């Protein structure tokens, strides 16, 4: 099988790494890829937002399958364009990708199809925001403020109190921190609990639920500081089999029924961010319409089986279920971020020490080659992923490797996996 993967980050590196090891002799092409990916697959310099060029590349290469990594091309309808050319594509069309592309659409979808989620209001002005915050905090507690559109994982503020919520709403609505993505805002009650990420592959009818993952979203240890795209992950997470069963029955299966009822054909990943309260009840915080980053890295490290065959089946509406197997060990991914992230990121710093790391997989997330030197090219630069018979063993391996990699001004959270035992 010839597979085209669209993207250039750590998620795509992990997917390509696993697809290339599928055992079936798959040929993998990546657009545009990165220096790490280039070591294991053929990279073609076509940007992820060059939709016409991506379409023509898929046709010219006569690919059997396209796997779209990032959310923006899916929201823009790339999968629709490819399917119109009869190219099997793993990733939802624009109508399904609205689950991630619009927080307003997704929250209204949850409510319409009775999927458990936090009470919320949609606002477009500060006056509306003030009133919503007052109503949603009337019985005590706090709120979460979310920009409606895509914001690279940074459009969510968990407010400390009402004043903090108002400041966040002002930042999004009036200061336009996220541009047009913040023209409308969702304000929802904060559910206190423990968060887990669940990724499920689907052909619109069947579900293949992948092992649970715990993300670490903020920049600093102890879950402090601003949200990032993710500073590290652990799989499997803390969640019990009973809670996983509830997530399937109460969230994922009703979602498939809701998509069918709304005449939305969905073939791709349903990535559910779920908060589980003290009583074990799951509440859906949000959906992403693609593989997570860095959630994908530990899952791919543990996966055994032909992922390409499963993704092709999903793209064709005939996904095989139960053909994937999993390494029993725990996987921990620690992200190395550039100086300034998640604010003003410094790029162009040299990266060294990769040749000295052992017993881990280093996925490139934002790297480039300049005059033959590997340098940083974005906020989250590398994801160091290790397997171990326990969380502690995997953490020790990952951090030992992280400490051997040099990046001036690098930022690393030292508590990835510390909550999971």
Q: What is the CATH number of the domain that holds 63?
A: 3.40.50.20
The single residue listed with the structure tokens 């968990």 is: 158
Q: Which of 294, 310, 326 is the last residue of a domain?
A: 326
Check the CA dihedral 416-8-152-250 and report its sign: negative
**CATH number where 144 lies:** 3.30.1490.20
Cα(117)–Cα(146) distance, integer angstroms: 14
Same domain flag for 322 and 335 = no
Model confidence at 25: pLDDT above 80: no
Same domain flag for 200 and 321 = yes
Mean model confidence pLDDT for the chain: 95
Same domain flag for 287 and 353 = no
Is-contact 204 266, C-beta < 8 A? yes
Residue 81 makes CB contacts below 8 A (sequence gap 6+) with 51, 55
Whole-model pTM: value is: 0.94
Same domain flag for 368 and 295 = no
**10 Å Cβ neighbour count for 44?**
16
Nearest residue to 78 via CA among 94, 62, 100, 65: 94
Same domain flag for 204 and 320 = yes
**10 Å Cβ neighbour count for 369?**
12
Q: What is the pLDDT of residue 24?
A: 65
Residue 107: both structure tokens together? 């929250």
Is-contact 379 345, C-beta < 8 A? yes
Residue 138 makes CB contacts below 8 A (sequence gap 6+) with none
Give how many domains the chain has, as a whole number: 4
Q: Which range marks the domain in which residue 74 is found? A: 2-93
Q: What is the pLDDT of residue 115?
A: 98
Residue 331 pairs in a beta bridge with 235, 387
Residue 20 domain flag: yes
Same domain flag for 230 and 336 = no
Cα(271)–Cα(252) distance, integer angstroms: 10
Residue 415 domain flag: no
Is-contact 146 100, C-beta < 8 A? no
Cα(282)–Cα(173) distance, integer angstroms: 30
**10 Å Cβ neighbour count for 359?**
11
pLDDT tens digits, 106-165:
999 999 999 999 999 999 999 999 999 999 999 889 999 999 998 877 788 899 999 999
Same domain flag for 202 and 297 = yes
Same domain flag for 208 and 317 = yes
pLDDT range class, residue 22, cuts 50, 70, 90: low
Region 224-228: mean pLDDT is 89
Region 252-258: mean pLDDT is 98
Same domain flag for 201 and 311 = yes
The lowest-confidence range among 16-30, 167-181, 391-405 is 16-30
Q: What angle separates helix 307-316 from helix 10-19, to the nearest 10 degrees?
A: 100
Same domain flag for 283 and 400 = no
């Amino acid at each position: 099988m010839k597979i085209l993967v669209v993207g250039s980050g750590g998620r795509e590196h992990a997917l390509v790494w696993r697809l290339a090891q599928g055992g079936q002799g798959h040929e993998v092409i990546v657009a545009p890829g990165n220096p790490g990916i280039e070591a294991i697959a053929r990279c073609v310099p076509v940007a992820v937002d060059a939709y016409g060029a991506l379409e023509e590349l898929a046709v010219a290469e006569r690919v059997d399958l396209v796997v779209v990594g990032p959310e923006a091309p899916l929201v823009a309808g790339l999968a629709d364009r490819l399917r119109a050319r009869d190219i099997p594509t793993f990733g939802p069309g624009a109508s399904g990708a609205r689950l991630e592309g619009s927080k307003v659409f997704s929250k209204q979808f949850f409510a319409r199809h009775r999927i458990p989620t936090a009470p919320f209001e949609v606002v477009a002005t500060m006056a509306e925001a003030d009133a919503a915050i007052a109503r949603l905090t009337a019985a005590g507690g706090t709120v979460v403020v979310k920009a409606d559109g895509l914001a690279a994982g940074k459009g969510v503020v968990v407010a400390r109190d009402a004043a903090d919520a108002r400041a966040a709403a002002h930042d999004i609505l009036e200061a336009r921190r996220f541009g047009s993505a913040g023209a409308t805002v969702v304000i929802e009650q904060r559910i206190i609990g423990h968060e887990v990420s669940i990724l499920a592959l689907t052909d619109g009818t069947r579900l293949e639920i992948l092992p649970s993952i715990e993300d670490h979203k903020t920049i600093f240890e102890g879950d402090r500081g601003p949200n990032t795209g993710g500073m590290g992950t652990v799989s499997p997470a803390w969640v019990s089999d009973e809670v996983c069963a509830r997530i399937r029955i109460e969230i994922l299966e009703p979602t498939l029924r809701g998509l069918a009822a709304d005449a939305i054909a969905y073939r791709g990943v349903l990535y559910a961010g779920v908060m589980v309260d003290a009583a074990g009840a799951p509440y859906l915080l949000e959906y992403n319409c693609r593989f997570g980053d860095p959630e994908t890295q530990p899952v791919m490290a543990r996966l055994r089986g032909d992922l390409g065959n499963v993704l092709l089946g999903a793209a064709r509406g005939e996904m095989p279920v139960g053909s994937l197997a999993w390494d029993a060990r725990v996987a921990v991914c620690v992200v190395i971020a550039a100086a300034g992230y998640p604010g003003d990121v410094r790029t162009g710093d040299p990266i060294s020490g990769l040749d000295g790391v052992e017993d881990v997989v280093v996925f490139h997330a934002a790297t480039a080659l300049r005059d033959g030197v590997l340098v940083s090219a974005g906020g989250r630069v590398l994801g160091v992923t290790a397997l171990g018979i326990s969380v502690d063993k995997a953490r020790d391996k990952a951090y030992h490797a992280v400490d051997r990699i040099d990046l001036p001004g690098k930022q690393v959270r030292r508590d990835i996996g510390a909550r999971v035992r």
